[in-house]
Every structure is written in structure tokens, then in C-alpha cells.
Amino acid sequence: MTTNKSFGFMDEYAKKEIRRSSLKAVAIPGYQVPYSSREMPMGRGFGTGGLQLTLSLIGEGETLKVIDQGADDSVNAVNLRSFIEMTCPGIHTTTSTTEAGVIQSRHRIPERPLREDQLIVLQVPYPDALVVVEASEDKRKILHGEADYSRLLVKLYEDIVKFDEITISHRYPTRIHGHYVIDPSPIPRWDVPKMHQSAALILLGAGREKKIYAVPPYTDAEPLAFEDVPFRVEDFTDENGQRRPCARCGCTTSFLDEYIDSSTGDYVYRCSDADWCNEQLMDESLLEVSNG
Amino acid sequence: MAYVAIKGGGQAIDGSKTVFDYLRAKQSAESSPLDLDTIQNQLRLLHGRVISEGGVYHPRLAALAVKQAHGDTLEAAFALRAYRSTMPRLAETEALDTSRMRITRRISSAFKDIPGGQMLGATTDYHLRLMRMELLNESPEQFRTIASEWFDGLNIDDIPDTFPKVLEGLRKEGLIPPLSSQVRDNAPFDITREPLVFPVPRSAALSTMARGEQGSLLAIAYSNMRGYGDVHPTVAELRVGYVPVMLPHPITGKPMEIGEVEMTECEIVAMYEDQEDGSKPVFSLGYGACFGHNEVKAISMAILDRSLQIGMTKGPSNPSEDPEFVLLHVDGIDSMGFCTHYKMPHYVTFQSDMDRLRTTRKKQDDGVQS
């Protein structure tokens, strides 16, 4: 029985198509480039779009980091990383954001600002920000072409009328380079400003919906908002107006995961970005060493 | 701290693989694994469904897929489809000629008798769905006798190699459109190499449905049958059998038979419509075909082909006539994958959801107080 031997699982034609689609995506910032999207041996919705990008773009000797919800060791990240290691012999993997050349991520952009020599691949379930106001893809294409985002703005306005607050929590519609509005993938609002003028190339891949799009380096990425109702990220202040720190490293500037301590029943907050949290701890211990 | 348990997942995944495999093997100390030939023969309809939805005709790997998926059609078709991604496309076959099908079953509901005759073949259509208690303890001897006795008294020489197509008669009479105007629109759309960007040609719709999930196709076709649409089909011909596959000879270039694939094909006739060019009205047609023996799928597909053609020309007036609605929702690999993905951790987005809800609630509280 034949077993697959080709680097990166897919056949060469498939990888070539994805590279060409990526180039087009970079050339037209925010435009969703349709591509044929092969079936991967993991579920549609588990990051097959991001995976196809990573497999097509990574090469021997390069270093990969895979995260899910900010963590390197969550089940899906482990699964993707071991599959990429298995099908791309000669690559290195790391949990360090600094060391990584290619970062594949679901739902987060690392806290540490990325560099020009880095590339981040985001996994995308819904590539089109307009899907909340228009179900037909055919009609959405026209709206995008005409940069007609009035219905999205009306939705934001209706939110304010009903709730005195924009209720979009994640997947916040973001205008790229003054034209196309993208779905930035289900990253929290916290991560949206990281896309603006990012030094690193941001590629977004939707496998099931068969689209690739990009936020090229040093490109404007502006979340939709109103002059008098600005865009706001998640709020981590407590009842007393104090910014909650991470219970593990003490950081007060990172996105926090919230959970309930099973013994005390209290809420506990910790950094969502596992590598960032470890780095903060490391810095503290170094500080102690140098002070001591 | 349930969320934290999700982390450190490497070991958990390995454990999950082991226990999944254990469930396959736990039957008893003397049990033996399912062999692939058994799956291919005794579970032939399940096997055919997996080949069809997997979209690659590889009977042995399809049987393996059924085995490793513990009989889940979606999972099995998925494994087959992923295997396909590793294979380059080496050549294109010529259009298969289904009139050359080696028939195992062939019926028409449009005519009492048809040229070549109605051949009921293997079908459960007229079975009484009573539990066959005698199979509860079927012995190997009884089982083998079924096959050995079946050929007794059967005159194989009486069976013709091929049967004419029922539609040919109608076409000769001019009651259905001539062949040239509806097929052979040169290069068919290859859904494995090009994404569906709407509007799509009919060939893209047909190939998407040919590997679509049976239940999804049936559900949307059924909506049309019940009243969300009005195709009202008559099955001109439903045939099941083996179609020869032709490829050009690598040296001479002449088409030669490289093997055959089991297929189900359904052609439906629907009522006529007014002709825009003022010519005489003709019946309209719908076409369905898929790998394996799967009549529900072929009929559903034929109905949807008809309803989609209506939608493509006149604009959709119900879901089954909307190409986007039908074609983007019938793929089992896509839909099951996305359904399954909701089981993955979503705590970052949920954190973000809670932030919005808490802020909104707080604002309402503040509003009440002020």
C-alpha cells in the first residue's frame, strides 16, 4: 500500500497553488482569495486552512511554533504540531515566540510584538465579516468590491441603541488598508490592535470556506467604530478599578484566562499566552538573581 | 479546574487513540478483526457510500476506512478524502459512457415496459421490513449455500451485455432537449482543483453533489418534494452497474479500458416549461450519478440538479433552487468537521463574550441607578 512521502503532506501542485494565492492575498490586502483547499487528515474547522498555509510555506531548517488559545500544549496545538513535524522532516519546533520563524495560531496573537522576519498564520472559521449581515457569498462579493460596509455599521449602531455598547466580542470587523473589511479570525478584541502596522506578515487561512487573505507588514488595520464610540478591548479591571494581575507571573498587561478554583470557588486569572507568562517568570527570577 | 485539564494534551491524545482502538477489539478473547473483503461484500452499501462521499474509487482503502472508523460513514469518507489530497492528478478520463454499463439493476417508472426490459435486480424496495430472525444464528454452512445455490438454473448467456438508455426513445421523438445542447460543454469544472465561486457551471454542481453526503442531499431534495419547490420528477431510468473507464493509451493515444467502477445513475424527467426562444416545449431533465450502489443519493441528486437549473436560470425561489445554499451545505467532510470543531476549547472567545455581557449588564445597572 502506498504511503505518503511528499514534504508537507500535500502534492506539489496543491502547495504551489497555495503559495500563489498567498502572494495574491499580500498584493491585495484584506481581499479573500478563493483557493481549492485540500482535505487534510484532520477535521474541517480544526485549522485546516492555517495548516495548508504552514505546510506550503515552511521549509527545512525553519522553526515553527503552534498555539491554540495562546497555549502551546493544548490538544489541538499538540495535534497540529506533531502532524507538521511528521510531514515536514528537517524543521524545528519551539514554544518560544522569539525563536519562531513561523507561528500558527488559533484565537490569539502572541503578546510579544512580532518582528519583520516572522510570519504568523491564523486559523479562520468564518473568513467574511459580512456574513452576519448577508448570508449569500455572491452578494457579499459585490459589497466588498464596492467597499459597502454600511450594513455592518448599522449593526454596530443598533447594538449601541439596544445595549449602549457594541456587543461584538471577538472576530471584530477590521478594515485593512482603507478598503476591505476582514474577519480577523476569532481573536479577542485585545489582539486586533496588534494587526495594525504589524512588522510581521499576517496570513489568514480558511480551509472549509476555501479562502486565503492577508494583512501585509506595515499595513493599516482599523477596527470599525464611530468617532464618539471608540473601539474598546476586553476589560480586566476588578471591582475596585484595579487591573487584575496574572495569578502566576503577576503581569498586568496581558490577556487573561479566567477560571474557577475548584477548592476555593474563587475566580483565578492567568495569562492566556503561555510563553509570555513563562518569560515574565524568567525575567523575575533573573532580576532576583542580579539583585541578590 | 476543568479547562486546565485540556492542557498537557499530548498524553491525552495518545490515550484517546488507544481506548478508541480498544473498543474495536474488546469483543471477546476468540474474536478476530474484520477483514476488508467482508466489509466490501457484506457491508457493500456502507462501503459504496464511503467511496462515493470520499470521492475516490479505491475499494480496498474504502474498506480499510470503514474498519478504522468503526463504521462511521462520515469519518471513513473523510479518511479516504484526506488520502486523496496526497495524490497528484495524472490524467483526465474521457467522459464515461453509461450506456455501456454492465447492468445489475435497471428500472423505469415512466413506462410499463422499456427496451431491454425492467430489471429489478438487488433491491430492498419490495421487501417486507420484518426482522429476519433466521439470520440471528446463521451458520457458515448456511451462509455459503446462499452463494453457491444462486447460480443454479441461471442462464448467464441470456443476459445482454448492455441495455439502451430509456431517454433515447424520448429524445428521438423530440420530447426532451437534444444531447448536444446540454452536455459536452467541453472541459468540466474540477472541484478538486478550483474553489466554487458563484455562479458556478452545472458541471461544478453535479460533481459537488456526486461526492455530497447522502443525508444532506436527501434532506434538501425532500424539501423540494414536499412543497418547497415543484420539480415533481418521474424516474425515466435508474440504473446500477459497472461502467468501463477509458484512458488514452500512453503510446498510441487510443482510448483503452483500464477497469470499471460501480455506479448508480438516475435520470429524471420533469414537466416542460415555456421556451424562451419560442420553440416547441420539451420535458426538462435532471441528472444524478454517484459511485457505488446508492439509489437514494442518485435520485436526490437528480431532483436537485433539476431544481438548481431552475434557480440558475430564473433565480431561486426556495432553498433547493439556490446553488449557494445547496452546494455549500451538502459536503459531509466540511459539515461534520465544522460541527465537531465546537468541541475544541473556545475559552479565549468565551472570555471575550463574558466581557461584553458583563459590561452590558453593568451599564444597565448604572443606567437604572442614575
Q: Identify the bridge partners of residue B242 per DSSP, sorted by sequence position.
A: B102, B262
Q: What gap in Å lies between CA A54 and CA A80, rounded to an integer?
A: 10
CA distance A284 to chain B (A): 24
CA distance A197 to chain B (A): 23
Is A88 catalytic? The answer is no
What confidence tens digit (pLDDT) does each residue in B48-92 have? 999 999 999 999 999 999 999 999 999 999 999 999 888 888 888
In which band, very low, low, confident or very high, does the pLDDT at B1 lie, cut at 50, 70 and 90? very low
Chain B residues touching A36 at Cβ < 8 A: 191-195
Mutation for testing the B interface, residue in A75, A238, A257 having most B CBs under 10 Å = A75
Is A251 catalytic? The answer is no
Is A249 catalytic? The answer is yes
Which 81-100 residues of chain B touch chain A by CB within 8 A? 81-82, 84-89
Instruction: Show Cβ contacts of residue A8 under 8 Å, excluding neighbours closer than 6 positions.
Output: A15, A55, A56, A58, A87, A88
Q: In this structure, what C-alpha cell is assigned to residue A30?
A: 484584506
DSSP letters of A151-168? HHHHHHHHHHHHHSS---
Least confidently predicted of A178-187, B1-10, B92-101:
B1-10
Choose among B2, B12, B348: nearest Cβ to A69: B348
CA distance A190 to chain B (A): 9
CB contact under 8 A, B86 and A9: yes
Which 197-226 residues of chain A touch chain B by CB within 8 A? 208, 210-211
Helix (H) or strand (E) run with residue A93 in it: strand A92-93
Rounded (5°) CA angle B66-B208-B38: 20
Choose among B12, B351, B356: nearest Cβ to A257: B351
Catalytic residue among A47, A50, A88, A249: A249
Choose among A39, A74, A258: nearest Cβ to B85: A39
Choose among A14, A167, A261: nearest Cβ to B85: A14
Chain A residues touching B56 at Cβ < 8 A: none
pLDDT (mean) for A118-134: 96
What confidence tens digit (pLDDT) does each residue in B304-316 have? 999 999 999 999 9
Q: In this structure, what C-alpha cell is assigned to residue A46?
A: 480544526
Q: What gap in Å lies between CA B132 and CA B119, rounded to an integer?
A: 25
Report the pLDDT value the prediction gives residue B41, as an integer from 0 to 100. Answer: 96
On whether any CB of chain B is under 8 Å from the CB of A139, the answer is no
Report the pLDDT value the prediction gives residue A249, as an integer from 0 to 100. Answer: 94
Closest-approach residue (CA) in chain A for B81 = A39
Q: Which CATH architecture has domain A12-127+191-223?
A: 3-Layer(aba) Sandwich (3.40)
Q: How many CA atoms lie within 13 A of A47 on its CB side?
A: 29
CA distance B314 to chain A (A): 16
Nearest Cα to B203, choosing from B331, B298, B95?
B95
Which 33-62 residues of chain B touch chain A by CB within 8 A? 61
What confidence tens digit (pLDDT) does each residue in A16-59 have? 999 999 999 999 999 999 999 998 998 898 999 999 999 999 99
Catalytic residue among A47, A49, A246, A251: A246
CA distance A214 to chain B (A): 18
Pairing verdict, β A63-68 and A119-123: unpaired
**Counts of helices then strands in chain A (DSSP H, E):** 6, 12
In which band, very low, low, confident or very high, does the pLDDT at A160 lie, cut at 50, 70 and 90? very high
Helix (H) or strand (E) run with residue B12 in it: helix B9-25
| Residue B3 scores a pLDDT above 60 | no
On whether any CB of chain A is under 8 Å from the CB of B346, the answer is yes
CB contact under 8 A, A257 and B346: no
CA distance B293 to chain A (A): 24
Asked whether the whole model's pTM tops 0.90, one would answer: no
Q: Which residue has the cell 459539515?
A: B335
In which band, very low, low, confident or very high, does the pLDDT at B273 lie, cut at 50, 70 and 90? confident
pLDDT (mean) for A68-78: 91
A250 phi/psi in degrees, rounded to 5: 85, 0
Answer with the residue of higher pLDDT: B223 or B14: B223
What confidence tens digit (pLDDT) does each residue in A229-288 have? 999 999 999 989 999 999 999 999 999 999 888 888 899 999 999 999 999 999 877 767
Instruction: Show Cβ contacts of residue B258 under 8 Å, excluding neighbours closer than 6 positions.
Output: B245, B246, B247
Q: What gap in Å lies between CA B316 and CA B305, rounded to an integer?
A: 13
Amino acid (one-letter) located at B103: I
pLDDT (mean) for A170-185: 97
3-state SS of chain B?
CHHHHHCCHHHHHHHHHHHHHHHHHCCCCCCCCCCHHHHHHHCHHHHHHHHHHHCCCCHHHHHHHHHHCCCCHHHHHHHHHHHHHCCCCCCCCCCCCHHHCEEEEEECCCCCCCCCCCECCCCCCCCCCCCCHHHCCCCHHHHHHHHHHHCCCCCHHHCCCCCCCHHHHHHHCCCCCCHHHHCCCCCCCCCCCCCCCCCCCHHHHHHHHHCCCHHHHHHHHHHHHHCCCCCCCEEEEEEEEEEEEEEECCCCCCEEEEEEEEEEEEEEEECCCCCCCCCCCCCEEEEEEEECCCHHHHHHHHHHHHHHHHHHHHCCCCHHHCHHHHHCCCCHHHHHHHHHHCCCCCHHHHHHHHHHHHHHHHHHHHHHHC
CA distance B88 to chain A (A): 6
Chain B residues touching A125 at Cβ < 8 A: 338, 341
Whether the bond into B199 is cis, omega within 30 of 0 = yes
Which 238-257 residues of chain A touch chain B by CB within 8 A? 255-257
Q: In this structure, what C-alpha cell is assigned to residue A166?
A: 457594541
Q: Identify whether the C-beta of residue B216 lies closer than 8 Å to the C-beta of residue B147.
A: no
Radius of gyration of chain B (CA): 25
Choose among A45, A71, A188: nearest Cβ to B338: A45
Count the neighbouring beta carbons within 10 Å of the beta carbon of residue A243: 12
Which 157-176 residues of chain A touch chain B by CB within 8 A? 163-165, 167-171
| Residue A1 scores a pLDDT above 50 | no
Q: Which residue has the cell 445595549?
A: A163
CA distance A291 to chain B (A): 34
CB contact under 8 A, A38 and B13: no
In which band, very low, low, confident or very high, does the pLDDT at A227 lie, cut at 50, 70 and 90? very high
ipTM of the complex: 0.82
Q: What gap in Å lies between CA A137 and CA A210, rounded to an integer?
A: 12
Q: What gap in Å lies between CA B330 and CA B341, rounded to an integer?
A: 18
| Average pLDDT of chain A to the nearest whole number | 93
Q: What gap in Å lies between CA A17 and CA A266, rounded to an integer?
A: 51
In which band, very low, low, confident or very high, does the pLDDT at A6 lie, cut at 50, 70 and 90? confident
Is A246 catalytic? The answer is yes
| Residue A4 scores a pLDDT above 70 | no
Per-domain boundaries in chain A: 12-127+191-223
Q: Identify whether the C-beta of residue A257 lies closer than 8 Å to the C-beta of residue B347.
A: yes
Choose among A73, A108, A136: nearest Cβ to B348: A108
- What is residue A29's DSSP assignment? T
Least confidently predicted of A106-115, B153-162, B210-219, B258-267:
B153-162
| Average pLDDT of chain B to the nearest whole number | 90
Catalytic residue among A8, A30, A205, A207: A30
Pairing verdict, β A119-123 and A102-106: parallel
Mutation for testing the B interface, residue in A6, A20, A31, A44 having most B CBs under 10 Å = A44
% of chain B beyond a pLDDT of 70? 95
Closest-approach residue (CA) in chain A for B335 = A44
List, in sequence order, every beta strand (DSSP E) within chain A: 33-34, 63-68, 92-93, 102-106, 119-123, 174-176, 181-182, 201-206, 211-215, 221-223, 256-260, 267-271
| Residue B278 scores a pLDDT above 80 | no
Choose among B9, B193, B352: nearest Cβ to A234: B352
pLDDT (mean) for B282-290: 94
Least confidently predicted of A51-55, A216-220, B202-206, B270-274:
B270-274
On whether any CB of chain B is under 8 Å from the CB of A70, the answer is yes
Closest-approach residue (CA) in chain A for B341 = A45
Count the neighbouring beta carbons within 10 Å of the beta carbon of residue B154: 9
Pairing verdict, β A256-260 and A201-206: unpaired
Chain B residues touching A272 at Cβ < 8 A: 348, 351
Q: What gap in Å lies between CA B177 and CA B165, rounded to an integer?
A: 15
| Residue B369 scores a pLDDT above 70 | no
**CB pairs < 8 Å spanning A and B:** 170
Q: Identify whether the C-beta of residue A155 lies closer than 8 Å to the C-beta of residue A133.
A: yes
Count the neighbouring beta carbons within 10 Å of the beta carbon of residue A287: 10
